[in-house]
Structure 1
Amino acid sequence: MTLTLDRRLFLALAGAGAAALSACGGPTTTAGSVATPAADIDFSGVTPAASIDFWSNHPGKSQDVEKSIIDKFHAKYPDITVNLVTAGANYEDIAQKFQTAQAAKSGFPALVVLSDVWWFRYYLNESIIPLDSLVRQLGVKLDDFRTSLVDDYKYAGKQWALPYGRSTPLFYYNKDHFAAAGLPDRAPKTWQEFAGWAPKLKAASGAQYAFMHPALAGYAGWTLQNNLWGEGGGWSKDWDITCDSDASVAALQAAQDSVYKDGWAGVSSKESAGDFAAGLASATLSSTGSLIGILTSAKFNVGVGFLPGGSRAETGVCPTGGAGLGIPSGVSKEQQLAAAMFLQFMTEPENTAAFSAATGYMPTRVSADMTAVLAATPQIKTAMDQLAVTRVQDNARVFLPGADQEMAKAAAKILTQQGDVKATMTELKATLQGIYTKDVKPRLKA
């Protein structure tokens, strides 16, 4: 592929094809159908609904703080009831449930958690509404949101969601193990530096592994961008699929060597944050949303740091991620208005600070007073500081339908089956190229 477009320009040019929803798998786009440009929705004279459903997977084990914020909303708006619905254990579960509602054309929530790899498809499907008219009517202060987070949902000249549980991966390490091994109390600057530390950690700590790779089913495509970028590779560059480049193969070969050749790393079967907190490994990568859970569970001193770089880049190697909140198009204006009122309340500065304190996710509002939060949990500041050196995710991960799952399958071949790295990446490239050619390229205008 030689066509290169800015990722935000892509959606402005794409024409937003409407998508068919299959009976299994996530929402997909179907070539041949083109949606009309989204227009502002007129909410003048609309009375908010008396009851709405809010679908969440409670990112970062946030159910309690979500309930608390809902209780405060009820106190302020006693005529509107928000029903918190557990729509799944993760973002994929919510996608499946939302797809079922789309197929049945009923049972929609009024507000739904949308992850970084799913919300774009809902935009293409016309399954969510633009929030612009609601933002104006309610006086939502978009300029007080952290620019890099709110702008992730600005496409085709419209605002499609607001940031909610936003995160980056963090490097978590066991300070006690590092001290026992005579290592500095910090995250490694590069993976090469950590590879030099790993034998010392294994010898001194008694842990099974020096490092635990994140569970592959849990967003391997997200965290492995760090490894790829550090070596000058990536899943893609604009719309060119680059997962089989020499740089990308070298990065993933090093990851495989850490497990098999050098033997200092393991691969989590479920959740690396839990494995790390249990003392099975001296270090891991996990979301900022895992921070509070790790600090609560671990029986040792926990350190956090920026993600390591590689031989080609030591900074700008951390992806953003997480989820936003969107309003479905399949509910009434009355429900949409009530949902927008709750969305505004949910993302107000004091509530985003409370959500951050309870989970470790980044506060999405600039004016959020984090003084008390940082006094209690100073590690959250590392996540906030790392935001300044994050990098936009590769198009192949966030814009190709189903690509994240394909990346996880490829990572499993490499890290749990010792598959040939070059052959696996060549196969993945063909798969991703096929997704692009079928589901995305037909919507790009020259």
Structure 2
Amino acid sequence: MSKEYSRKQFLAVAGASLGTLAVAACAGPSTDGSSAGKPSASVDWSKIKPAASISFMSSHPGKSRDTELKLIESFQKAHPNITVNLITGGANYEEVAQKFQTSQAGNEVPDVVVASDVWWFRYAVSGTILPIDDLLKAVNVSSSDYVAGLISDYKYDDSQWAVPYARSTPLFYFNKDHFKAAGVPEQAPKTWAEFAEWAPRIKAANTSSPGYQNAYQYPAIAGYAGWTLQNVLWGQGGGWSKEWDITADSEASVRALQWVQDSIVKDAWAGVSSKNAITDLQAGAVSATISSSADLATTLKAAKEANMRIGVGFLPGGSASQSPVCPTGGSGLVIATKTSPERQLAAAMFITHMTNAQNTATLSAATGYAPVSEAADISAILSQTPEFATVVDQLKVTRTQDFARTFLPGGDQELAKAATRIMNEKADVKATLTDLKGTLEAIYTKDVKPKLKS
């Protein structure tokens, strides 16, 4: 597979060349249709009156529905002539993607949609969302108002397609009491090798506790295994891909995921959550896990109520690299193309309100999502929740996700299938990853490569 195209180069040509991207392997929104255009360029926004009503489709990431309602209320107080209707699009980003795609067949398209790191790109290339550069100018907001490393994730073809909203990194969560009982340091390990030394002692020290299961619990496969496992792969020098080259079956990648399987099957100090690993941790069933920073506030609250001491730290590194081994993730806010200019202008007013300095701090305090505004004051959050400093500090040492997850149609689902075979079904790691490589390369060859400029 060619190494010719970097992420930046690919995104620069994608708007013109990926409008007919096939999605036979993809459970999410289709990218069939006309190529992404720039309809906002022909609108004189100064002559448009904002609509009296718009809709906002969300999965309420990080259990944020109450916070979203609070932010909507503050928007409506600032703009009493605009009503915002909150729509629950599903329990997760994938369900929102499906519902938004389905809405394209009718006339009831939501004006603002929460778009995940995996799905926003397909919205853009299918022409179902607007580039928002001119809209941002119309509401007197600049892209420089946002954290550069976050808003740049939504830029391609010289256009801005979303503003960052519920952005996160995975964190290492651990039960300090369990660690103390084992006589290991009450801190996140620097490397997975270090944790592998601690884990048998942690499990032995706590196994008599009612309901106890494992020293470590991998997140449920359905909970974005392709996202979190990048950490282990990167630490060992592997990855799902290197730009467009699929590296899932490289020696380093096989070694990394063999270690994962061994921790579950051979060494037996780890397990895989059937539903929610962070809930397992809160219940005292496991001693450590990886989960989104969006779980920080609710986890610490639950721990306090249960008289449990929970700590958080950076993701562990590996033998090849200790940093950067942490991906970013989460979602941004996009504006639908298939609505009127009046609704699009009101939508622009709304998305910039939801993500301004004050409101991003409100969302961060309620959840653990990273503040997306450069001007956000998080001093109050840090005084109440010192652990939030880990979210902010780790954000500075993150790494761009592998193309195989974020840009191959259906790639994330294929990663999850492979993880299921390796972690739950005890399949041969090398053979599974070889099959995965073939599947991902077939997607690239059929759905992406023909669209790239030579």
TM over 0.5: yes
Conserved? CA contact 2:26–2:409, under 8 Å = no
Q: Is the 8 A contact 1:167 1:321 kept in 2?
A: yes
Separation of aligned partners in 1, 2:344 and 2:37: 20
Q: Please say if residues 220 and 411 of structure 1, whose CA atoms lie closer than 8 Å, have aligned partners that are also in contact.
A: yes
Any conservation in 1 of the 2:215–2:288 contact (CA below 8 Å)? yes
User: Equivalents in 2 of 1:16, 1:2: separation in Å?
Assistant: 17
2:168 corresponds to 1:167 = yes
- Confirm or deny: 8 A CA contact 1:56 1:87 kept in the other structure: yes
Residue 123 of structure 1 corresponds to which residue in structure 2? 124
Residue 269 of structure 1 corresponds to 274
Residue 144 of structure 1: how far off its partner (Å): 2.4
1:361 to 356, 361, 369: 369
Please say if residues 111 and 335 of structure 2, whose CA atoms lie closer than 8 Å, have aligned partners that are also in contact: yes
Amino acid at match of 1:44: S
- Structure-1-length-normalised TM-score: 0.97
Work out which of the residue numbers 23, 27, 30 in structure 1 matches 2:29.
27
If the length of structure 2 is used for normalisation, what is the TM-score? Answer: 0.95
Q: Could you list the runs of 5+ residues in structure 1 that have no partner in the other structure?
A: none
In the alignment, the residues of structure 1 paired with residue 142 and residue 40 of structure 2 have an alpha-carbon distance, to the nearest angstrom, of 21
Q: 1:421 aligns with which of 416, 419, 429?
A: 429
- Please list the CA deviations of residues 162-195 of structure 1 after superposition, one character each: whole Å capped at 9, or x if unmatched: 0000000000000111111111121111111100
Task: Count matched residues.
Answer: 444
Q: Which residue of 2 aligns with 1:250?
A: 255
Q: Aligned to 1:314, which of 313, 322, 336? A: 322
Matches of 1:247 and 1:398, distance apart in 2: 21
1:11 corresponds to which residue? Answer: 11
Map of 2:396 onto structure 1: 388
1:152 is the counterpart of 2:153:
yes
RMSD: 1.6
Aligned-residue offset at 1:24: 8.5
- Residue 181 of structure 2 corresponds to 180
Percent identity between the aligned chains? 57
Instruction: Provide the secondary structure at the position in 1 that maps to 2:41.
Output: coil
Does residue 1:59 correspond to 2:57, yes or no?
Answer: no
CA change 1:273–1:183 in 2 (3 A) is same
Shift of 1:204: 1.2
Query: Is this contact kept in 1: 2:117–2:329, CA < 8 A?
Result: yes
Q: Shift of the alpha carbon at 1:27?
A: 2.1
Between 267-276 and 21-30, the greater mean CA deviation after superposition: 21-30
Deviation at 1:153, TM superposition (A): 0.5
CA distance in 2, matches of 1:388, 1:363: 12
Preserved CA contact (<8 Å) 1:9 1:156: no
- Counterpart of 1:76 in structure 2 is 78
**1:287 paired residue number:** 292
Write the deviation string for residues 199-241 of structure 1: whole angstroms up to 9, x where unpaired: 1100112331000001111100000000100000000001000
Does the C-alpha gap of structure 1 residues 21 and 48 become closer, same or farther in structure 2, counting only changes over 3 Å? farther
The residue identity in structure 2 corresponding to 1:270 is K
Equivalent-residue separation in structure 2 for 1:83 and 1:246 (angstroms): 51
Matched, 1:113 2:114: yes
Instruction: Give the Cα–Cα distance (whole angstroms) in 1 for the partners of residues 238 and 399 of structure 2.
Output: 13
- Residue 414 of structure 1 aligns to a residue whose secondary structure is helix
Amino acid at match of 1:86: T
Task: Give the ranges of 4+ consecutive aligned residues of structure 1 lying more than 6 Å apart after TM superposition.
Answer: 20-24
User: How far apart, CA to CA, are the structure 1 residues paired with 2:42 and 2:283?
Assistant: 50
Q: Is the Cα contact below 8 Å between 2:220 and 2:272 reproduced in 1?
A: yes
| Equivalent-residue separation in structure 1 for 2:354 and 2:327 (angstroms) | 25
What CA distance in whole angstroms lies between the structure 2 residues aligned with 1:38 and 1:419? 49
CA distances 1:109-138 after superposition (whole Å, capped 9, x unpaired): 010000000000111101100000011111
Amino acid at match of 2:201: K
1:197, 1:41 → 2: CA distance? 62
Corresponding letter in the other structure for 1:167: S
Q: Contact 1:54–1:110 (CA<8 Å) still a contact in 2? A: yes
Higher deviation after alignment, 343-352 or 294-303: 294-303
